Structure 1
Amino acid sequence: MSAEVERAVRRSLADYCDHVDRYDVPGILALFAPDGWYDLGFGRVFRGPVELRALFSRVEVYRATSHHVSNIVVDVDPAGDAAISRAALYAYHVRREDDSEAHVWGQYHDRFVRAGDRWLVQSRTLRMAAERGTRPEGGRVTLYEPLPRGI
Structure 2
Amino acid sequence: MSTDDLMEIQQLLGRYAVHMTRGDIDGVLAVFTPDGTYSAFRDTYPLDEFPALVAAAPKGLFLVGTAVIDPAEDGNTATGTQPLCFIDHATHDLRIGYYNDTYVRTAEGWRLRTRAMTFIRRSGAHDSGRPHAYERPGA
Fold conserved between structures, TM > 0.5? yes
Residue equivalent to 1:144: 129
TM-score (normalised: structure 1): 0.75
- Structure 2 segments unaligned to the other structure (5+ residues): 131-139
Residue equivalent to 2:121: 130
Residue of structure 2 aligned with 1:53, choices 41, 47, 51: 51
Distance, in Å, in 2 between the alignment partners of 1:93 and 1:100 is: 6
The one-letter code matched in structure 2 to 1:45 is T
Distance, in Å, in 1 between the alignment partners of 2:10 and 2:77 is: 14
The one-letter code matched in structure 2 to 1:8 is E
Question: Structure 1 pair 41/107, CA: closer, same or farther in 2 (3 Å)?
Answer: same
| Structure 1 residue 87 corresponds to structure 2 residue 85 | no
Deviation at 1:83, TM superposition (A): 1.1
The one-letter code matched in structure 2 to 1:20 is M
The one-letter code matched in structure 1 to 2:49 is E
* C-alpha RMSD of matched pairs (Å): 2.0
Deviation at 1:5, TM superposition (A): 1.7
Query: Aligned with 2:74: secondary structure?
Result: coil
Query: Aligned with 2:67: secondary structure?
Result: strand
Question: Structure 1 pair 2/41, CA: closer, same or farther in 2 (3 Å)?
Answer: farther
Residue equivalent to 1:21: 21
Q: Is contact 2:117-2:128 (8 Å) kept?
A: no
Q: Is contact 2:40-2:128 (8 Å) kept?
A: no
Deviation at 1:2, TM superposition (A): 2.8
Residue by residue over 1:70-93, the C-alpha shift from the partner in whole angstroms, topping out at 9 and shown as x without a partner, is 142111111111111111111101
Residue equivalent to 2:36: 36
Structure 1 runs, 4 residues or longer, greater than 6 Å off: none
Residue equivalent to 2:9: 9
Q: Is contact 1:41-1:127 (8 Å) kept?
A: no
Choose between structure 1 and 2: higher strand proportion.
1
Deviation at 1:117, TM superposition (A): 4.1
Instruction: Count the aligned residue pairs.
Output: 126
Q: Is contact 2:10-2:66 (8 Å) kept?
A: no
Identity %: 25
Residue by residue over 1:64-111, the C-alpha shift from the partner in whole angstroms, topping out at 9 and shown as x without a partner, is x111111421111111111111111111013xxxx3343111111100
Distance, in Å, in 2 between the alignment partners of 1:143 and 1:121 is: 19
